[in-house]
Structure 1
Amino acid sequence: MVAHVLRLRLAMMLGALRGDRDHVLRRAVGLFVLIAGTVFAAVNVVALADSDRLTTAVVTVLAGSAVTLGFAIAPPVTASVDPLDPRRFAVICPEPRPLAAALLAAGFFSVPVVVVVVLAVSLAVAWTAHGAPVGGSIVSIVLGVTTCVLLARVSLALGALVRRPRQSRELIGVYLVAVLVVVVPVGIFLGSLEWRGAVPSQLVSAAEVLGWTPVGAAWNIAVAPTAGAAAASVVVALATVALLAAAWFVLVRVLLTTTPRPFTVRERAGLGWFALLPGTPGGAVAARSLSYWFRDRRYVVNVVVVPIAAVLTTLPLIVAGVPVEYAVLLPAPIIALFLGWLPHNDLAYDSTALWMHIASGVRGLSDRLGRLVPVVLIALPLLAIAIPLAVAVHGRWAFAPALVGVCAALFLSGLGLSSIASVVAPYAVSRPGDSPFQQPQRTGSGGVASQALVMIGALLAASPAIWFAWQAVASDTADAFAALWAGLGAGVVVLLVGVAVGAAQFERRGTRLMEFAEAT
């Protein structure tokens, strides 16, 4: 079977160069550009032999980690279809294990893998010039390439389990959010570094950390500073390969014994987020909330105002004489606080549509979690941009964990408390279709109290993280990690407790909530 699958794979690769003249011309030009780019990159990689050992090690680990991660995320982002999908062999009733082994071997025969092998061999030339053992270089290349192939196989298999017949614009939006969350912070980090003829210490630290992770361990073997570090990287790389191989064999068995769900009807129905998210009560609530958050002017105005207001708060501080490097640390926590605060009255924005949740018997936990999905999807890219920008202007990347901890505490605590407030103390808001700046008359101060309590509660929950962050700014950056863990711990605890309490209150106060919706 292995020989047959390999011949099939090679035939498919050669078949890409067949067809009409225009198709062959485009493929030939693309292949020429790829070969030229690979040769150019290989020449520059070999030139690392003239650099110092530290530069070569940092470039190797960072570039290898980026390439390895690319093999994992490229298939879902590009919506790639696996030409050797295990389900295509189901008609001949193969045994899962031999088929998985054959398809894994065929995975090494692809253009991206060939490019990686060429560049890895070029890196090995530079490693050898700096005294790396030949055996270590071979082990590094083999484990690195194997990890890339396994990640691609697993990613394609997972995509085959959940892929729909065509990409929806909602799914593309989710992919863009994921790319923003990863690419923007890295780009800001690299752009803020000062090289001054040497590798920045931040990159050295990043390479050391990545050398202990599954994506970078294989590439750290040949360039590790000590034999002990190289042995540890070998252990991590072997464990990664073993786990990915086990996952691949399990996924092949699942694919051969699972009937794909018929998504075609749902996609043609144009249900948007309802077609993308799981068909569960929580998924339905999340889909409806997402539709409102991205289409209702009342939500859109809130989302737009938050980052603008956060940035404007720095102007009075700068005018008052606060140094810019300290004033820029304020907008990110303000964004996190207000984004966590936004859902504190989300039930009121539903108006009479709330009856769908209550009449259908939706569990409180499904309602509470589903309503948090939109604000999380919006907050992630906003904070992924705001935090690195603030740290870059501040000038000390060692402070980044502290800022992440403060923002996490404010955001997660705000979500938890909002999950309670929206059920216990909803207040009237502008009705659907009205101007977002038109507010109805209210009797009493319940709305003001609920708004204030959510904000004050989030600030109190984040106070330990804020204290450690202040210490990190004023004196010792070692407190930055204390702020990180204190913020994450407090935020997660308040979120879990808030969602649980809000869920219980939603089920208990269903009648009162319906009366409120009808009255407003």
Structure 2
Amino acid sequence: MVAHVLRLRLALLVGALNARPLVLLRRLAAFAVLALGVAAVCVALIRLDRVPDADAATLTVVGGSILVAGFFLVPLFSGADDPLDPRRFAVTGAEPRRVAWAVALASPLGVPGVVVIAIAAALVASWTDHGAPIGLSVLGAFLLVATSVLAARCAMAVSALALRDRRSPQLTGLMVTAAGVVVIPVAAFAFSLEWSGGLPTQLTEAAQVLAVTPFGAASAIAVRSGGGLVLSLLVAVGTLVALALLWRLLVHLTMATTERSVSLRERRGLGWFAVMPGVPGGAVAARSIVYWFSDPRHLANVIVVPIASVLIVTPLLVVGVPLPTVALIPPPILALFLGWLVHNDLAYDSTGVWLHISAGVRGVADRIGRLVPIVLIGVPLLALAITGSIWLHGRWAILPALVGVCVSLFATGLGLSSISSVAAPYAVSQPGEGPFEQPQRTGGSMAQAAVLFGALALTAPALWWGWLALSGDEDAAWTAFWSGVGVGATVLVLGVAIGGMLFERRTGRIMEFAETH
């Protein structure tokens, strides 16, 4: 099977030269430009023998991280046809497992694979010139190539499954937002660099952070030692194993999915319903997005929360607290209130919640679907806020701690809100009324306080480690990150599960609340 796929791959490469003269000329020109670019990168890597070892290590880790990120993001959003799409092997009756490994082994024979192999070879030469062991250099290069190839494979499979035939203004907006979440922080970091006779300290700190992430771990194996080497090696191998398992799963899904040609006319006018998956949770998410972006009551909250998070810290500047310290406060406040916003979401949708109950929608699907709009809004806002805060603060080594704190506050708030919106809904302004009109009510304060203080209490470990990182212990930054992500993910999953169970058990009371409020 592997030999057959390899022959097919070579035949496709040779077949690309069998084209009309004008098309062939354009392809050859593109290949020439690409070859010159890759050659320039390889020469630059080899010439790193003229710079100090620490600077060479920083540059190779950052460059390798950019390479892996590019192999994942470009295929995901490019929409290019995959010549080795696993669905093309479905007619042969081959097992998905065999197809997965055969396609993965044949992938390096393509132009992207040749590019990453050439860059990896140049990296090996650069690492060994600076005294890195040849064994670690070859291992790091192998993991870099394998990670890049599998990342591209998984990205193309996800694009084929989820994005093909779903092109719409909504999906385009999501792609632009996703790109902005990545590009804007990177641009802010680049503009913050201060070059003065050597590599900026921010770039060195960024390399240290990237060395223990799936993007830069493989590139850092040859330039680290001791505990750092072990950690980077574990992350790199774990990333490769995770990508291999994901690729195996995606091949099974793609070969079991029938591709149907869908005309634009069929999807015209469906909006978010055409973008979201065709499952109950996707339908709830699509309807929730529609009323979040059209209901003034929700729009007012989305506008007020970012402004309030900045105004709250203004008195600190007035009394003389340094700007670098104050700059770190707005993102956690923003994360806290964004997670809190949906603590009474069911009450805002009282006129339509009967649709979910009468249709027999599972509670978990309802809870997940209602969280999608605030996630689509909150993630870009937090990305911009965190980037701006770190840029003003000036120490990018604090970034993991701030991300961990914000993720914990946001996710725990969403998890607790998923419970409180079902367990203790209270009256709000009705559809069509002003966003700041509030009806007379006797309850609701306990639910608001429980979500706010509960999120703060659960985030206390991440806040403590973040404070230690701010005080100078840079190792505590990663402890804050992992504790924040772990606590936030756990509370979010438990909150959705408990909220879904309560939704199914309290359908009668929910309907009564919807009719009377």
TM-score, length-scaled by structure 2: 0.84
**What's 1:164 paired with?**
164
One-letter identity of the residue aligned with 1:87: R
Instruction: State the partner residue of 1:108.
Output: 108
How far 1:265 sits from its partner (Å)?
7.2
Which deviations, in whole Å up to 9, do the C-alpha atoms of 1:46-70 show, x marking residues without a partner?
3212111222222222212321232
CA distance in 1, matches of 2:45, 2:164: 40
> Residues 184 and 385 of structure 1 are in contact (CA less than 8 Å); yes or no, is this contact kept in structure 2?
yes
Measure, in 1, the Cα distance between the counterparts of 2:302 and 2:123. Answer: 47
- Could you tell me how far 1:332 is from its partner in structure 2? 0.8
* Residue ranges of structure 1 left out of the alignment (5+ in a row): none
Match of 1:366 in 2: 365
SS in structure 2 of the partner of residue 309 of structure 1 = helix
**Contact 2:166–2:274 (CA under 8 A) maintained in structure 1:** no
Q: Deviations over 1:487-518 (max 9, x none)?
A: 55654565455445543443344333333333
Matching of residue 65 in structure 1 with residue 65 in structure 2:
yes
Cα distance in 1 between the residues matched to 2:246 and 2:400: 33
Structure 1 contact 164–264 (Cα < 8 Å) conserved: no
Contact 1:277 1:283 in 2 (8 A): yes
The code of the aligned residue for 1:44 comes to A
Q: Give identity over the alignment, percent.
A: 51
Aligned pairs for 1:145-294 within 5 A: 145-201=145-201, 203-204=203-204, 206-208=206-208, 210-211=210-211, 215-225=215-225, 244=243, 248=247, 252=251, 255-256=254-255, 258-260=256-258, 262=260, 264=262, 268-270=266-268, 271-294=270-293
Amino acid across the alignment from 2:313: T
Residue 333 (structure 2) aligns with = 334
Contact 1:71/1:152 (<8 A) preserved: yes
Aligned to 2:509: 512
Task: Report what 1:306 is aligned to.
Answer: 305
| Matched-pair contact (CA < 8 Å) for 1:267–1:275 | no
Which residue does the alignment assign to 2:405?
406
* Cα distance between partner residues in 1 of 2:51 and 2:34: 26
Distance in 2 separating the partners of 1:519 and 1:236 = 54
The one-letter amino acid of 1:350's match is D
Identify if the C-alpha distance between structure 1 residues 357 and 399 changes in structure 2 by more than 3 Å, giving closer, same or farther.
Answer: same
Deviation at 1:83, TM superposition (A): 1.2
Contact 2:415 2:493 in 1 (8 A): yes
Change (3 A) 1:514 1:78: same
Q: Distance in 1 between matches of 2:258 and 2:214?
A: 31
CA contact (8 A) 1:372 1:415 kept: yes
Say whether the 8 Å CA contact 1:399–1:473 is kept in structure 2: yes
C-alpha contact (below 8 Å) 1:79/1:167 kept by paired residues: no
**CA 454–445 in structure 1, closer or farther in 2 if over 3 Å, else same:** farther
Change (3 A) 1:444 1:114: closer
Report what 1:393 is aligned to: 392
- Report if the CA contact (8 A) 2:77-2:175 is conserved: yes
The 8 Å contact of residues 206 and 397 in structure 2, kept in 1 or not, is answered as no
Separation of aligned partners in 2, 1:489 and 1:137: 33
SS of corresponding position for 2:333: helix
From the superposition, tell whether residues 312 and 245 of structure 1 become closer, same or farther in structure 2 (CA, over 3 Å): closer
Residue aligning to 2:30: 30
SS at match of 1:107: helix
**Which range is displaced more, 145-154 or 200-209?**
200-209
Q: Cα 1:356–1:398, aligned 2, differ >3 Å: closer, same or farther?
A: same
Query: Highest Rg: 1 or 2?
Result: 1
What corresponds to 2:500 in structure 1?
A: 503
Structure 1 position 339, deviation (Å): 0.7
| Counterpart secondary structure, 2:351 | helix
The DSSP-based 3-state class of the residue aligned with 1:446 is coil
What is the Cα deviation at residue 275 of structure 1?
3.2
In 2, distance between residues paired with 1:410 and 1:153? Answer: 34
Check conservation: 2:313, 2:330, Cα contact below 8 A: yes
Give the aligned partner of residue 435 of structure 2: 436
Q: Look up the equivalent residue of 1:391 and give its one-letter code.
A: I
CA RMSD of aligned residues (A): 3.7
Distance in 2, matches of 1:239 and 1:444, equals 53
2:87 and 2:223 mapped to 1: Cα distance? 41
**1:90 and 2:90 aligned:** yes
What amino acid sits opposite 2:42 in the alignment? Answer: A
Alpha-carbon distance between aligned partners in 2 of 1:28 and 1:44, rounded to the nearest angstrom:
24
Per-residue CA distance 1:444-469 (angstroms, 9 max, x = gap): 34355544554344444445544554
How far off its partner does 1:343 sit? 1.0
- Secondary structure of the corresponding residue to residue 35 of structure 1: helix
Could you say if the C-alpha distance between residues 327 and 263 of structure 1 is closer, same or farther in structure 2, counting changes exceeding 3 Å?
A: farther
Equivalent position amino acid for 1:377 in 2: L
Aligned-partner Cα distance in 1 for 2:306–2:515 = 33
Unaligned runs of 5+ in 2: none
Question: Secondary structure of 1:432's partner?
Answer: coil
Cα gap change, 1:275 to 1:395, in 2 (>3 Å) = same
Task: Say if 1:372 and 1:155 are closer, same or farther in 2 by CA, change over 3 A.
Answer: same
> For structure 1, which segment, 387-396 or 246-255, has the greater mean C-alpha deviation from structure 2 after superposition?
246-255
1:247-266 Cα offsets, whole Å, 9 max, x none, are: 6566556654x242647379
Corresponding residue of 1:75: 75
Query: Structure 2: which amino acid aligns with 1:33?
Result: V
Moved more, 173-182 or 387-396: 173-182
Alpha-carbon offset, residue 210 of structure 1: 4.5
C-alpha deviation, 1:375, in angstroms = 0.9
Residue 348 (structure 1) aligns with: 347
* Aligned AA (2:282): G
The alignment's TM-score, normalised by the length of structure 1, stands at 0.83
For residues 394-429 of structure 1, give each alpha carbon's deviation from its aligned partner in whole angstroms, at most 9, with x where no partner exists.
233343344334323432333233333323443444
Structure 1 Cα separation of the partners of residues 272 and 14 of structure 2: 39
- Report if the CA contact (8 A) 2:427-2:441 is conserved: no
2:360 and 2:515 map into 1 onto residues whose CA distance is 18
8 Å Cα contact 2:100-2:248 kept in structure 1: yes
